[in-house]
Amino acid sequence: MSFFSRKSDHGGLYPEIDRELWIDMLIRASAQGSVSAVRALIDRGLSVDEKNDVEYTPLMAAVRSYRIEVVRFLLERGADVHRSDVYGHSVLHCAVMSPTRELEIQAQCVRAILDRHPVLDAQDESGCTPLMHAAWFGLEPSVLLLMSAGADQGVRDQKGRTAAMLALEKKHETIARMLG
């Protein structure tokens, strides 16, 4: 008998384990790319849109870690792409908030989120949009996806910088030229 095959009288979850721990397990499993663990936790009663104390969700963890299989699973189960954390980072922000050598997988995550029609130009607490983060981190395929989806290239952050200016600041000249 596996850990997740036992039943309890409280919605499938073990009452002796704090709910916040279950949510943490779901977010970690999402970040680690374990579809089977994510499925088991959701089947035991957790929501695909659970959030931790900073309102970070499993979908945010999966896109930030470029776990496309988990991203697809969570989206199929109805995960909300319009969520944001306490810092104003939307799911789309999370998909473009770190550099990677896995540009194609990262772009697949962005494409999967874009297919669900998120707010393209949501600004986080520093005024940055997903396009600005993608430009800053040199994520050229995602910059192209965001541009083709209609992201506003003229939005400025709290320091007055546009996506093109951020790309130049990080010496991503090709991206800066694409952004004009």
Q: Pick out the chain residues at pLDDT < 70.
A: 1-17
Beta bridge partners of 10: 13
Rounded Cα distance between 22 and 45, Å, is 10
Same domain, 33 and 94: yes
The reported pLDDT for the residue numbered 150 is 98
Same domain, 43 and 66: yes
Same domain, 138 and 85: no
Amino acid at 53: D
Same domain, 21 and 57: yes
The reported pLDDT for the residue numbered 2 is 33
Rounded Cα distance between 92 and 161, Å, is 20
**How many angstroms from the chain centroid is the CA of residue 116?**
13
Tally of structural domains, the chain: 2
Rounded Cα distance between 50 and 170, Å, is 35
pLDDT digits (tens, 9 = 90+) for 52-68: 999 999 999 999 999 99
Same domain, 59 and 29: yes
Same domain, 66 and 136: no
The reported pLDDT for the residue numbered 11 is 54
Rounded Cα distance between 162 and 151, Å, is 12
Q: Which of 119, 136, 161 marks a domain boundary?
A: 119
Residue 11 is part of a domain; what is its CATH number? 1.25.40.20
Rounded Cα distance between 61 and 53, Å, is 14
Same domain, 93 and 180: no
Same domain, 2 and 66: yes
Domain of residue 146: give its range. Answer: 121-180
The reported pLDDT for the residue numbered 85 is 98
Same domain, 44 and 91: yes
The reported pLDDT for the residue numbered 3 is 40
The reported pLDDT for the residue numbered 10 is 47
